[in-house]
């Protein structure tokens, strides 16, 4: 799929719908999967409105669709930045203040002992985001928490409601 960048958005959408292209191929072709998804009605990741618990003009906080723990969330900039090394200082400041708030709220709502933060946007193209991963009392402390196995997303409407209320 070296020629992906030569195709129109419509042609790429058709390939995604046919299961021939995933986010990895877009990244390799230097097309941002997050922005492509947003510009094309959630064709890659689906509609995540039900998982979103905070939004303003610059940032979105949402529960991830393949979590490593209950309450695993991500904070993403609305504007495209490839990775953290590319963001301006003001955005850097704002996203970390927001992350601090979200981490406290997640710890409270999910009753975890701690919440870990990481960012590792990599590859020819990516979209800057922070990941917040709860660590529960029954789990050991340490970096293994960053690579806990992915789970199926289970919707908990009550917890999402609480997250939204506390993030206001
Ligand atoms: Zn992007």
* Beta carbons within 8 Å of 147's beta carbon, 6+ residues apart: 68
Model confidence over 101-153: pLDDT tens digits? 999 999 999 999 999 999 999 999 999 999 999 999 999 999 999 999 999 99
Report how far ligand 1's centroid is from the alpha carbon of 105 (Å): 26
Q: Whole-model pTM? A: 0.92
Q: Quote the pLDDT of residue 125.
A: 93
Report how far ligand 1's centroid is from the alpha carbon of 101 (Å): 24
Q: Quote the pLDDT of residue 1.
A: 52
Measured distance CA(133)–CA(114) in Å, rounded: 8
Report how far ligand 1's centroid is from the alpha carbon of 13 (Å): 16
Torsion 19-23-27-28 (CA) sign = negative
Record the tokens describing residue 65, joined without a space. 């669709």
Question: pLDDT > 70: what percent of the chain?
Answer: 99
**Cβ–Cβ < 8 Å for 32, 114:** no
- Ligand 1 (ion): residues with CB under 5 Å are 32, 34-35, 80, 127
Return mean pLDDT, the chain: 95
Report how far ligand 1's centroid is from the alpha carbon of 84 (Å): 12
Model confidence over 1-10: pLDDT tens digits? 558 989 999 9
Record the tokens describing residue 84, joined without a space. 């953290």
Measured distance CA(54)–CA(41) in Å, rounded: 20
């Amino acid at each position: 799929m070296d020629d992906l960048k030569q195709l129109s958005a419509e042609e790429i959408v058709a390939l995604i719908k046919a299961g021939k292209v995933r986010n990895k191929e877009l990244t390799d072709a230097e097309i941002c999967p997050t922005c492509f998804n947003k510009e094309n009605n959630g064709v890659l990741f689906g509609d995540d409105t039900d998982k979103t618990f905070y939004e303003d003009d610059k940032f979105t906080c949402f529960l991830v669709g393949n979590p490593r723990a209950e309450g695993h969330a991500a904070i993403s900039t609305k504007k495209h930045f490839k990775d953290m090394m590319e963001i301006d200082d003001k955005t850097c400041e704002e996203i970390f203040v927001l992350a601090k708030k979200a981490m406290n709220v997640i710890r409270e709502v999910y009753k975890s002992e701690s919440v870990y933060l990481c960012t590792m946007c990599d590859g020819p193209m990516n979209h800057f985001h922070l990941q917040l991963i709860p660590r529960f009392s029954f789990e050991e402390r340490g970096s293994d928490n960053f690579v806990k196995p992915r789970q199926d997303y289970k919707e908990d409407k009550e917890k999402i409601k609480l997250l939204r209320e506390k993030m206001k």
